[in-house]
Amino acid sequence: GENVEQHPSTLSVQEGDSAVIKCTYSDSASNYFPWYKQELGKRPQLIIDIRSNVGEKKDQRIAVTLNKTAKHFSLHITETQPEDSAVYFCADLNQGGSQGNLIFGKGTKLSVKP
Amino acid sequence: KAGVTQTPRYLIKTRGQQVTLSCSPISGHRSVSWYQQTPGQGLQFLFEYFSETQRNKGNFPGRFSGRQFSNSRSEMNVSTLELGDSALYLCASREGVDGFTQYFGPGTRLTVL
């Protein structure tokens, strides 16, 4: 079945530095790639997503890039702040396929040190 | 619009009991998916309901079941609870099976003793 691998599992950066989290997927039919942020004790919150017909998307300090040929996508956070500390999950979806559910990576715990 | 809501937020049960969790989707959303979140396995898909029908199911035993009502609210049931069922159960809603974005509820924390 579909598999999403996420790296690294933990990431520690200094405030103001950039953070990059990478995911690879196996289903070439996947066409939707969201990123969720989950703070301790809270629900996963969608922070950015990208569809397979787009190579890059930005929203202020957050960007996502997609390489369909290599089957990987990445989350980039610039000018990190302490409030960016959380667990980040990537996921993919084969929208329109027989399995329309999100497949998640294992998560990356990001710590931003002031 | 109000977000996805789940009740109860916390539950403590003992092995062998059964439990029912409830999820109310965002108004107008007709698709509800359920996920189990554990430290070891991460977020795993349980099942999705749309228009009162189960659309697809993850790799979980038959003790896990669900249903959806005509108002799109959904329930999931776990029978004969095991210690390993302790987890955060999250539901997520989207407008329809053609919709991409899923919005999560706060989850129900189930502890099995």
Which residues fall within 8 angstroms of residue A49, CB to CB, at 6 or more apart?
Answer: A32, A33, A34, A35, A57, A64, B100, B101
Tokens, residue A67: 């390489």
List B32's β-bridge partners, or say none: B49, B93
Q: Write the Ramachandran bin of A78: left for phi over 0, alpha for psi from -120 to 50, otherwise beta.
A: beta
Task: Evaluate whether B64 touches B20 at the Cβ level (below 8 Å).
Answer: no
pLDDT tens digit sequence for A66-85: 999 999 999 999 999 999 99
Rounded to whole angstroms, the Cα distance separating A104 from A93 reads 9
Supply the DSSP string of chain B, one letter for each residue: ----EEE-SEEEE-TT--EEEEEEPPTT--EEEEEEEETTTEEEEEEEEETTEEEEE-S--TTEEEEE-TTS-EEEEE-S--GGG-EEEEEEEESSTT----EE---EEEEE-
List A10's β-bridge partners, or say none: A109
DSSP A83: G
Q: What is the pLDDT of residue B2?
A: 83
Cβ of A89 within 8 Å of Cβ of B42? The answer is yes
Lowest mean pLDDT among A5-14, A64-73, B52-61: B52-61
Residues of A in contact with B48 (CB under 8 A): 100-101
Query: What percentage of residues in chain A have a pLDDT greater than 70?
Result: 95
Mean per-residue pLDDT of chain A: 93
Rounded to whole angstroms, the Cα distance separating A68 from B88 reads 32
* Mean pLDDT for the stretch of residues B12-39: 96
Whether residue B25 has a cis bond before it, omega within 30° of 0: no
Categorize the per-residue pLDDT at B93 as very low, low, confident or very high, splitting at 50, 70 and 90.
very high
Taking only residues 28 to 67 of chain A, the set having a beta carbon closer than 8 angstroms to any beta carbon of chain B reads 32, 34, 36, 42-46, 49, 51
Shortest Cα distance from B91 to chain A (angstroms)? Answer: 10
Categorize the per-residue pLDDT at A54 as very low, low, confident or very high, splitting at 50, 70 and 90.
confident
Task: Evaluate whether A112 touches A13 at the Cβ level (below 8 Å).
Answer: yes
SS3 content of chain A, % helix, strand, coil (to 5): 5, 55, 45
Q: What is the pLDDT of residue A59?
A: 94
Cβ of B48 within 8 Å of Cβ of A100? The answer is yes
Question: Choosing among A36, A53, A101, which should be mutated to test the B contact, i.e. which has the most B CBs within 10 A?
Answer: A101
* Mean pLDDT for the stretch of residues A42-69: 94
Cβ of B42 within 8 Å of Cβ of A51? The answer is no
Is residue A53 predicted with pLDDT exceeding 90? Answer: no
Whether residue B8 has a cis bond before it, omega within 30° of 0: yes
